[in-house]
Structure 1
Amino acid sequence: MTAVFVKICGVRDLETARVAAGAGADAIGFVHHPASPRHIEPADARPIVEALGGVETVLVVRRLPLDRVLAVAHASGVSTVQFHGGEPDDDLRRALDEGFRVIRALSLAEYLAAPPSSTMDARLLLDAPDPGQGRLIDAGQFTRRPERPWILAGGLTPDNVRAQIEHLHPDGVDVSSGVESARGVKDHAKIVRFIENARAAV
């Protein structure tokens, strides 16, 4: 089995980013959503992005006007934009045209109701209904598996990530609250253990 892609999301400081990258994370996510305890401004994200070298850097947004999304993405220096608000295909295409890679995040219910087009060069992330709340997706409702590579998110922790990978067989995993000691506060030991356990899945 190819090693699963691992993204550590909601990072707000360079030390945490370096811990995640050093432990083998493939991507680091930065949340730009003022209502979130993980919110970060472009001026604070950019030095972290520039220090990370070859690690994929992802701007996570939710229901922002596209012009604002693109402005924040350029100002932050990230390589990828992750859309979380049911944005139309045209928004994703414009982000691609601007040179960003794209991740389309959907809840399992949204995905089952209307699977996205397979013709667009956007990765799919399947999440629980309320992103960032630490809830697992309902695997019992997983009746239609994606035909292209996809990322599992929602409720993952160092203790359950290996079992979830072995049960659902995603191509990647994304964690935020599951590696925190308090809302918005990353626990470095949990990050390292999460990555180790994800890599141990077979």
Structure 2
Amino acid sequence: MSVRTKICGITQVEDLEAAVTAGADAVGFVVGVPASARDLSLERAARLVRQVPVFTSSVLVMVPGALDDLVEAYETIRPDILQVHGDGVPSVEKIREAIPGAALIKGIRSEPGEALRAAEEASGFDAVLLDTFFPRVQGGTGMTHDWRISEKIRKNLSPRRLILAGGLTPSNVQEAIRTVRPYAVDVSTGVESRPGIKDHGKIASFIENVREVKL
């Protein structure tokens, strides 16, 4: 099995094109997270999503404050996939009722003693993204976590899919894949030259290194 790759935190067309050219399976756009250097307005995210080509999936990444915010963003941006983080995420039943047919990813953090429970509570989502736990921060920390916990969560989630995130780089992604055996890997800070701006060489190296590993 080939592990899929998502390049997250895209903020400009040049970085989108670099990710697509390198062969990314998905690209992520962060909306509604003002503390992040990768945060986009609805309008800018919509413009970028319209430039994502066929056969590359666009992912809207949000920490929603309310269901209405989620629906407005989804209807404005029209991504292929919706990825939600945070403790205030509406129930998956409410999201599916409001946005029927949407592919849904739930982001959880590898908080000691809580990650397994959080993964079980996300059972109604299509996939779970596991990121590094850092107090009051939802993703984008650039820090790794204990991949043995990730492996355990992946086994418990089966047959649902685990997406591994958190501190991945071109130099450590192969070890992470061999340890956890995820469905996909997600990277943002690990392929940046500075916050919010991607390093195109790192993107290419990351994806090449992912493709070298066969599970």
Aligned partner of 2:102: which letter? Answer: F
Aligned to 2:4: 5
Aligned to 2:181: 169
- Match of 1:58, SS state, is strand
Whether 1:156 aligns to 2:191 is no
CA shift for structure 1 position 79: 1.5
TM-score, with length taken from structure 1: 0.91
CA shift for structure 1 position 116: 2.7
CA shift for structure 1 position 96: 4.7
Identity of aligned residues (%): 37
Whether 1:57 aligns to 2:58 is yes
CA shift for structure 1 position 111: 2.8
Whether 1:192 aligns to 2:193 is no
Which string of whole-angstrom CA distances, capped at 9 and with x for unpartnered residues, describes residues 9-55 of structure 1? 00011111111011110111000111111001121122221121221
CA shift for structure 1 position 127: 0.9
Aligned to 1:80: 81
Q: Is the 8 A contact 2:7 2:24 kept in 1?
A: yes
Cα distance in 1 for partners of 2:98, 2:27 equals 19
Which string of whole-angstrom CA distances, capped at 9 and with x for unpartnered residues, describes residues 166-189 of structure 1? 111111000000001112121111
1:82 to 1:43, Cα distance in 2 relative to 1, 3 A: same
Alignment of 1:38-187 (within 5 A): 38-54=38-54, 55-86=56-87, 87=89, 88-94=91-97, 96-97=99-100, 99-109=101-111, 110-116=114-120, 120-130=124-134, 131-142=139-150, 143-144=152-153, 145=155, 146-147=157-158, 148-187=160-199
Which string of whole-angstrom CA distances, capped at 9 and with x for unpartnered residues, describes residues 150-175 of structure 1? 10000000111111101111110000
Q: Is the 8 A contact 2:162 2:182 kept in 1?
A: yes
- Match of 2:106, SS state, is strand
Which string of whole-angstrom CA distances, capped at 9 and with x for unpartnered residues, describes residues 35-86 of structure 1? 1110011211222211212211111111421111121122112111101113
- Match of 2:119, SS state, is coil
Cα distance in 2 for partners of 1:81, 1:198 equals 23
User: Does 57-66 or 110-119 show the bigger shift?
Assistant: 110-119
1:121 to 1:85, Cα distance in 2 relative to 1, 3 A: closer
- Match of 2:39, SS state, is coil
Q: Is the 8 A contact 1:12 1:30 kept in 2?
A: yes
Cα distance in 2 for partners of 1:141, 1:53 equals 35
Q: Is the 8 A contact 1:9 1:29 kept in 2?
A: yes
Q: Is the 8 A contact 1:134 1:154 kept in 2?
A: yes
Cα distance in 2 for partners of 1:104, 1:96 equals 15
Aligned to 2:15: 16
User: Does 31-40 or 73-82 show the bigger shift?
Assistant: 73-82
5+ residue gaps in structure 1? none
Whether 1:201 aligns to 2:213 is yes
CA shift for structure 1 position 190: 0.7
Aligned partner of 1:10: which letter? Answer: G
1:154 to 1:91, Cα distance in 2 relative to 1, 3 A: farther
User: Aligned-residue CA RMSD in angstroms?
Assistant: 1.8
Q: Is the 8 A contact 1:149 1:170 kept in 2?
A: yes
Cα distance in 1 for partners of 2:51, 2:110 equals 34
